[in-house]
Structure 1
Amino acid sequence: PAEFKVLKNDDETGSRRWKPMGKSIANLYRYSEVSESITKRFIEALPTVDSDIVTLKEIKEVSKPKEVNGRRYSGFNLLNESDLKLFKEISDGSYLISGFNNKLLRKKLYEDSGNQKNINRMTRTLAKLRKHGIIKKAARKNNYYLTAKGRRITTSLQLYTGKEVLA
């Protein structure tokens, strides 16, 4: 349980701080909160095969550039193999509980994952995914989760493109 945090009074300052969760019965309320959020993410992650869920409008939005606060973020090329590989990777079910971060995705997508060029590229890609509403950042962590919109888009892309393209 130490991976999860609980809000406790700090003995030194008296203020409330997030600390690693222990195995105490006093943390049962927090166990239920964490379990509920994980269960909710699992339910949202169940694939839907209804082709009417993702409209053509949503797919066009992701493929077009977007401007946020005067900064331009390019769209995704949904016919590009590397973009399809990225969408397949972020939709992996192993990221439902703890999410994914820059380092995990780099290891899966690039052969030379420690290269500074690849680190910068992945940082820009994560920013682009966030601005298009496909992923969201976890509070107080450097982890990301797929949004409901992102889940719909990635599921539809995998359905439409077929397994042989994404393999």
Structure 2
Amino acid sequence: GNNLRIEITINNPAEFKVLKNDDESGSKKWKPMGKSIANLYRYSKVSESVTKRFIEALPTVDTDNVTLKEIKEISKAKEVNGRRYSGFNLLSENDLELFKEISDAGYLIRGFNNKQLRKKLYEDSRNQKNISKMTRTLAKLRKHGIIKKAARKNNYCLTAKGRRITTSIQMYTG
């Protein structure tokens, strides 16, 4: 059989955070990770989470797994805690472009945020209307279970359901 071996190398550990004692207050704070053997446990956790996301994102999409029920589910409005979130129009160029952008492999490790998506999807990414619109879109994606918020960050990443749906939509729309 075929085997796959995935290796992770962290060249710039300062991009990741580690919980350390603060010299001044004595309490623990999240600080940039350094290239030290003392951070080996954190290297392991970061590498494991990146490897899991990478394996989930491998293009082994079984189209039988993405049922018409899942596609219809994200196309319908959803009510959560008394608040209504509209569905996605899969015939709309804007929604298709959104799904294409959030499934970009460049977001696998660090995820994406409001600002990054606005820069890719809107011409005027600093316009307050576009900022608010993207905030509502991210909330809608979360409530439909397509994305989830990364812990302690303002970044989002695709869920397993989101990966299945976005990959299937791209397969059928070319």
1:1-167 to structure 2, matched below 5 A, reads 1-162=13-174
Kept in 1: contact 2:110–2:155 (CA 8 A): yes
Higher relative contact order (CA 8 A, sep 6+): 1
Listed as ranges, the gaps of 5+ residues in structure 1 are 163-167
Three-state SS of the structure 2 residue aligned to 1:35 is: helix
Classify the secondary structure of the residue corresponding to 2:148: strand
Percent identity, please: 86
- Count of matched residue positions in the alignment of Structure 1 and Structure 2: 162
TM score, norm. by length of structure 2: 0.90
Query: 2: CA distance between counterparts of 1:47 and 1:136?
Result: 20
Cα distance, 1:11 vs structure 2? 2.1
Counterpart residue number, 2:6: none
Q: Secondary structure at the match of 1:14?
A: coil
Report how far residue 123 of structure 1 moved.
Answer: 0.5
The residue identity in structure 2 corresponding to 1:16 is K
Amino acid at match of 2:138: L
CA distance in 1, matches of 2:61, 2:157: 21
Deviation of residue 160 (structure 1)?
1.3
Structure 2 SS opposite 1:136:
strand
- Quote the residue 1:165 is aligned against: none
